């Protein structure tokens, strides 16, 4: 049993396939280099002591007696509760959390925190290696049940399955995760901060999810993966637009994977632009700050730019031609490895 472990889980960038995960659809994310590190040291007795190093905050509770709270502590308590509920016998531990992903920025700081916490707690307790799809589902329950954001599995799967130089073609119906080469022929993918922060639970995210569920009821389908555009157009506003986004976004994921495979970067750029327009006009998750950041990327020579993640602020993504100079503040992002233990 390891008395001391350090777990790292990366954030993610989603190349394309937004708001498709909770609709049994398709997406093409990749894990990035930035992430969250959790160092765990076993403690005698069943107490968890947690320190959020960047926030100068602390938490302390007995395993099994964690009450609900808000903020970063909800993730720690939720991780302990969900792992225990799933049958893992956790030991007491002292946890030190370091975050390297900006919070509320659309780069999935939440999933990185959930995944790093779970890996650290499991390994510190000597638990066997767990199935990563099951772990992604467990992490998503932390967010749904303890943090109050009805998010899907995109971020957790990307963080757990990330691979260097690869994007992940994810089918959320079968939960198949297929690594695909991300060859950019000299082009660069960059993120640019819109300067606007969001808390998913408080944004329009849960409302969008409810609208998709309502559209399914009206269409008589189990998920929007089974919806057809023609049927959708008969729905009342704004449900028709929401469904139009999801159906066409799934198509764009397939087209993007094909364009990447044949090295057609201009086509990838056009698909990113089309995704952005659909997220802005049909799914209505853009804001003036996001539009301004997208415009800055396009002015700098991006051949495609769009919202990433849930929307309502955060970072935007741009695909820059090889000779373009990124705007000030833009950060180049490359696919990196998924969550793992670090040797100290």
Catalytic positions, written as ranges: 155
101 or 124: CB nearest ligand GLA: 101
155 or 273: CB nearest ligand GLA: 155
- The CA distance from 151 to 22, in Å, is 7
Per-residue mark of binding to ligand GLA, 128-167 (x: CB under 6 A): -----------------------xx-xx------------
* Most distant CA atoms of the chain, gap in Å: 62
- The CA distance from 339 to 131, in Å, is 13
Nearest distance from C-beta of residue 156 to ligand GLA, angstroms: 8
Does residue number 18 form part of the binding site for ligand GLA (CB under 6 A)?
Answer: yes
Q: Please, what is the angle between helix 154-161 and helix 109-124, to 10°? A: 60
154 or 247: CB nearest ligand GLA: 154
- Which residues are registered as beta bridge partners of 191? 317, 331
For 186, counting Cβ atoms within 10 Å of its Cβ (0-12 exposed, 13-18 middle, 19+ buried), the class is exposed
Does residue number 21 form part of the binding site for ligand GLA (CB under 6 A)?
Answer: yes
Residues 92 to 121 in contact with ligand GLA, rule: CB under 6 A: 108
Does residue number 22 form part of the binding site for ligand GLA (CB under 6 A)?
Answer: yes
- The CA distance from 28 to 167, in Å, is 6
Does residue number 314 form part of the binding site for ligand GLA (CB under 6 A)?
Answer: no
Does residue number 310 form part of the binding site for ligand GLA (CB under 6 A)?
Answer: yes
Size of site (CB under 6 A) for ligand GLA: 11
Q: Please, what is the angle between helix 265-281 and helix 239-261, to 10°? A: 170
Q: What are the residues binding ligand GLA (CB under 6 A)?
A: 18-19, 21-22, 108, 151-152, 154-155, 309-310
């Amino acid at each position: 049993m390891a008395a001391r472990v350090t777990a790292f889980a990366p954030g993610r960038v989603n190349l394309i396939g937004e708001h498709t995960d909770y609709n049994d659809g398709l997406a093409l994310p990749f894990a990035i280099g930035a992430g969250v590190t959790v160092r765990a040291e076993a403690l005698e007795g069943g107490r968890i002591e947690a320190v959020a190093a960047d926030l100068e905050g602390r938490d302390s509770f007995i395993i099994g007696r964690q009450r609900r709270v808000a903020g970063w502590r909800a993730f720690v308590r939720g991780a302990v509760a969900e792992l225990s509920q799933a049958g893992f016998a956790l030991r007491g531990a002292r946890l030190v959390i370091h975050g390297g992903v900006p919070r509320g920025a659309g780069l999935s700081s939440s999933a990185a925190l959930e995944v790093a916490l779970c890996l650290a707690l499991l390994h510190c307790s000597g638990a066997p290696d767990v199935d990563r799809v099951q772990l992604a589902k467990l992490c998503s329950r932390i967010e749904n049940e303890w943090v109050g954001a009805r998010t899907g599995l995109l971020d957790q799967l990307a963080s757990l399955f990330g691979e260097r130089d690869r994007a992940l073609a994810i089918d959320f119906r079968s939960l198949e995760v297929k690594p695909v080469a991300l060859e950019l022929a000299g082009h660069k993918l960059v993120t640019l901060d819109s300067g606007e922060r969001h808390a998913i639970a408080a944004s329009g995210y849960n409302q969008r999810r409810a609208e998709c569920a309502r559209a399914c009821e009206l269409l008589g389908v189990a998920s929007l993966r089974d919806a057809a555009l023609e049927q959708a157009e008969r729905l009342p506003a704004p449900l028709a637009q929401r469904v139009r986004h999801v159906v066409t976004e799934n198509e764009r994921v397939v087209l993007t994977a094909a364009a990447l495979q044949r090295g057609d970067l201009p086509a990838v750029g056009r698909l990113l632009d089309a995704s952005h327009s659909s997220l802005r006009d049909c799914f209505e998750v853009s804001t003036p700050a996001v539009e301004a950041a997208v415009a800055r990327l396009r002015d700098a020579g991006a051949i495609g730019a769009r919202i990433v993640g849930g929307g309502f602020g955060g970072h935007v993504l741009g695909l820059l031609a090889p000779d373009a100079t990124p705007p000030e503040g833009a950060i180049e992002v490359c696919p990196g490895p998924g969550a793992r233990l670090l040797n100290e």
